A and B are shown apart, each in its own frame.
Chain A
């Protein structure tokens, strides 16, 4: 089947989709957006979390056909999504037709990966959302496999609750498993992002 939907502000058309494919599979394998992660593929870990018409969902549990005509934001589009929100005062899609990162990962790119001189890869020179920068600064990223889902979920928390208590943060992120950090620095990151968001207002 063919599925038409919007991903990170760009109209996408996925062809030859088998009816059993998940939104996660279509994003990762058909649209070249592997940022949403495949840690459990059974809705338990939250690493594939995306916004579907604004609502955080496990994209592994959404059948691809269900997103026909709908709007998806993934971690690749999070920075633009947050920017649009800041500019327009509401959660919106990325600039129409502009796209917010639709790069796949080829083996050549993987081979070339390295921390280049002049690009410390810690946020400088790249436009990141508040929550993305806070995760880097607070040391909330280790292996990073849970990070995309946590970022999408935490960004949504701060969208509706600008000043969450620790228990609010824990409740909001309780569907996102992390095996590396022990969560303490993830809490630090969300607190930091909330504080910076407060300062910016």
Chain B
């Protein structure tokens, strides 16, 4: 695999070069690597405690119903069962939780709003006993009419998914079954349309994607002697969980002590509460430790999914290839509870134009309340659905104009200084045209690679793979391009901060830094870069990463591509203050010995205080002696403002991030089977703190985009609103045979506003990967293909 790393000359950079081994910019290895390859890393499902019980959740078998009665007597009578809880057993005034709107019942209160909603809990001494006891709980449902799409949600006689809404979006939405609506109006679309020589319209459908992290929702709650609870759990944001958990337990936050256990992936699916509250309730009710581990079936019901969407787009362009206007309407299905829907709406609307210059736009995005499964955060967060649609539009426009699709995009590509539809000026590098140039310039993979083995066809390189469905007959190649834009960090005026505690002391004669944050390490490698940052800023070799817990201030969420920027920034910031404190200590103790202490620029390198000329003034260890410097500080990105509710205007985003893809596919046109041959990508990451991790993130994100292009979709029966494929047998994610070579081209154009100039990078690759694959399949087959994922029947006309 070829990774190239390019810093064009003349790039602004605020990075000072330092020489401590294992600092930023090096591909240091994961500090948890050994534990993870030996099986010793403690994931949340591995937790164990003496006398521990197993918790089981009973979930609704129907999507929308009144609960007429619940009879738990048979379950309670089973040997080995310690507790059965329903809504009536909830201990506090507060019965609901939610990320932004507290509309989600801990346990159903007389009504269920979606298939798989938690109704009752069981604790027993064996997981199978708990499962069987849950099955003995008798629930009498009276089914209610369903709301499943925009038409049924907004019909005159539509049942309201939530009656009597008093949340802060309730006042401005046109219908109570709309969670949030964000229009963006800029320029004058009606006037601009008159300048258009060509106009293309499209209706696009994006399927419901699952995060499909491999480590199931799980954790252990241990009741404390003080009436509180210790909770070991896998999450993306400890402090957000804590804020939602403590009130429904009726406990002050300090009595809910949370420790992050090993997290088996997240991708947005752990932003919401799953088993956290349930395990605590059972632990407090039984006064015994309680472990809950979802199996894969339950996991599909245990977390929110990516919003399925319907998107209507109209674009115009002049005959010389300049975009004139864009009009779009994006309808996201938020399902039964709000979760992150309002923020997803904000992203979908504000990023709906893509990375293009468009001065005249008329945009509307809404999220619906329905009786479908709740949808919320997933990698790409609203920008993914929009990118799928606007990139299809770009290809249609280019085709209509007879232009090359890459050249057409480059002609309209945004750059630094471009004004977004929200009025926000893009004030750091936006190398959209360059990213496209790079993926296009890469040599194409050889044709008919299945013949390269010599004798016979290697079916593993063909569509259909080991099913041996073709040896090349009916196989057609296609190439497609796409580019996308994603925001980084929490937007729209949210007070987004992170906290880092850093302690510097001497252990066994050597200076050691300890970094303590509440950042959820979900696999992204935050723990690796925190150690690198501490080494760079403090000039030490030894760095200890403290376990993440709620004994330190919030780190914010491991989402929105924000953690290296935010908690990395917090670690850098605290280290800088620790450094200043150390130098102050040095001046106090040694200042009289050398004039450089007073006026020279002093650095920490290789365990020593040195001048910028390289002269060693003192060992860090000798300055500290037996003292420790221990600071905990908050770090904020620059403030943002909410989007205006009528015009969508406002500097709502912190930073933008860009990636481009070129997909090469081979399609068996007779059977409708697709083989993605190569998925090349180029991305600007501002500054790669750890190139090995950067490339890993980009390849992983690209693969999730590939999945939703050709196989991934949670299928919800429109007649019953029930999930039809909650398993890895029926919900397919890419295997190593489905995933092609992913060459990565990394640009490092510094953002002067960000720590080290870095740009959040985790989500951008998931955006453009999907439309690039779709474009390649369209080119191979000549089909329009306005829905993702593409299934064989869509390619063979047997749909």
Contact = CB atoms under 8 A, between A and B. Distances in A.
B29 A186 contact: no
Nearest to A74: B39
A117 B704 CA distance: 36
Contacts of B297: 42
A39 B214 contact: yes
B41 interface: yes
B31 A120 contact: yes
Interface residues of A, number: 81
Contact of B39 (A33, A114, A169): A33
Contact of A141 (B36, B212, B512): B36
B40 A39 contact: no
Interface string A106-128: 11011111111110111100101
Contact of B703 (A18, A101, A121, A182): A182
A44 B737 CA distance: 14
Contacts of A111: 259, 547
A18 B130 CA distance: 14
A143 interface: yes
Contact of A126 (B29, B38, B736): B38
Given A33-B39, A143-B263, A170-B736, A177 B728 contact: yes
Contacts, number: 260
Contact of B34 (A34, A38, A136): A136
Contacts of A40: 214, 295-296, 727-728
Nearest to A40: B296
Contact of B702 (A39, A78, A182): A182
A115 B742 contact: no
Contacts of A42: 295-297, 727-729
Given A38-B45, A40-B728, A144-B41, A179 B213 contact: yes
Nearest to B48: A104
Contacts of B33: 121-123, 135-136, 141
B352 interface: no
Interface in A173-201: 173-188
Interface stretch (A62-70, A86-94, A145-153): A145-153
B699 interface: yes
A41 interface: yes
Size class of the B contact interface (CB-based, 8 Å): 35 or more
B696 A139 contact: yes
Given A41-B296, A144-B32, A20 B128 contact: yes
B696 A105 contact: no
A112 B40 CA distance: 13
Given A115-B531, A135-B37, A122 B29 contact: yes
A186 B735 CA distance: 12
B210 to A, nearest CB: 10
B643 interface: no
A75 B43 CA distance: 15
B390 interface: no
A151 B37 contact: yes
Q: Which of B39, B232, B264, B524 has the most CB of A within 10 A?
A: B39
Contact of A47 (B30, B214, B230): B214
A181 B544 contact: no
B38 A35 contact: yes
Contact of A121 (B35, B265, B296, B734): B35
A174 B735 CA distance: 6
Given A37-B215, A42-B728, A182-B699, A147 B544 contact: no
Contacts of A33: 39
Contact of B739 (A101, A118, A141, A183): A183
A39 B700 contact: no
Contacts of B28: 122
Contacts of A117: 507, 510, 512, 542-544
Q: Which of A107, A135, A144 has the most CB of B within 10 A?
A: A144
B55 to A, nearest CB: 14
A75 B736 contact: no
Interface string B244-259: 0000000000000001
A53 B220 CA distance: 34
A143 B216 CA distance: 12
Contacts of A123: 29, 33-34
B264 A37 contact: yes
Contact of A148 (B31, B39, B263, B704): B39
Contacts of A144: 32, 36-37, 41, 262, 264, 523
Contacts of A104: 48
A118 B507 CA distance: 11
A39 B264 contact: yes
A6 interface: no
A170 B1 contact: no
A37 B216 CA distance: 10
A188 B696 contact: no
Interface string A151-183: 100000000000000010111011111111111
A117 B297 CA distance: 41
Given A34-B46, A142-B524, A122 B728 contact: no
B696 A181 contact: yes
Nearest to B735: A174
A179 B728 contact: no
B750 to A, nearest CB: 24
A39 B215 contact: yes
B703 A79 contact: no
B424 interface: no
B546 interface: yes
B522 A143 contact: yes
16 contacts: A34-B42, A38-B293, A45-B214, A79-B38, A105-B42, A106-B48, A115-B527, A120-B31, A122-B31, A136-B30, A137-B29, A139-B30, A170-B460, A179-B265, A181-B696, A184-B742
Given A45-B728, A142-B265, A143-B213, 14 more contacts: A34-B42, A40-B295, A41-B296, A42-B295, A78-B38, A110-B261, A122-B34, A135-B37, A136-B34, A139-B695, A167-B461, A175-B735, A177-B214, A183-B736
Interface of B: 1, 27-43, 45-49, 126, 128, 211-216, 220, 222, 230, 232, 259, 261-267, 293, 295-297, 458, 460-461, 466, 507, 510, 512, 522-525, 527, 531, 542-547, 692-693, 695-696, 699-704, 727-729, 733-737, 739, 741-742
CB-based closest 7 A-B pairs: A35-B39, A143-B523, A145-B264, A144-B36, A182-B699, A115-B31, A182-B703
